């Protein structure tokens, strides 16, 4: 797998979070996630484990019914099938490395697309 350079991969979009795929195998997917203030990955529950490692900024990582406040250096692991989402605080950016195993399917990202379309962090609530 290649080395990941967060600064070189950084891309920001005023309308929605940006993910840059850093590496992928049949068993894992590694992405760099860049969030402007208030941006999010909507809550969804794919059949893959995820590890979220915060690189910069602050926000929350949802794990089931729990919301973990996160800042640089924090790591949150969420088991497959557990609802999860990531959201930057309203007053600052968030950057995180996300590792999923196995990579989620396109169908499992339906709730993500729906939440983004509706502008809802938790489209199932």
Give residue-wise pLDDT tens across range 80-121: 999 999 999 999 999 999 999 999 998 998 889 999 999 999
Enumerate residues 6+ apart whose C-beta is below 8 A from 46. 80, 81, 100, 104, 105, 108, 109
Query: 16-118: CATH homologous superfamily?
Result: Jelly Rolls (2.60.120.10)
For the chain, domain boundaries? 16-118
Q: Is the pTM of this model over 0.85?
A: yes
109, 45 contact by CB (below 8 A) = no
The count of residues in the chain is 125
Distances (CA, A) of 60 to 19, 23, 28, 68, 94: 17, 24, 23, 5, 9
């Amino acid at each position: 797998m290649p080395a990941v350079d967060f600064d070189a991969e950084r891309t920001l979009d005023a309308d929605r979070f940006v993910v840059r795929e850093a590496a992928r195998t049949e068993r894992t997917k590694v992405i760099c996630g860049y969030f402007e203030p208030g941006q999010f990955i909507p809550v969804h529950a794919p059949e893959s484990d995820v590890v979220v490692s915060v690189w910069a900024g602050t926000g929350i990582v949802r794990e089931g019914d729990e919301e973990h406040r996160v800042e640089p250096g924090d790591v949150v692991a969420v088991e497959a099938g557990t609802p999860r989402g990531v959201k930057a605080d309203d007053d600052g950016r968030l950057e995180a490395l996300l590792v999923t195993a196995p990579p989620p399917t396109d169908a499992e990202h339906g709730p993500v697309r729906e939440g983004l379309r509706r502008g809802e962090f938790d489209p199932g609530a």
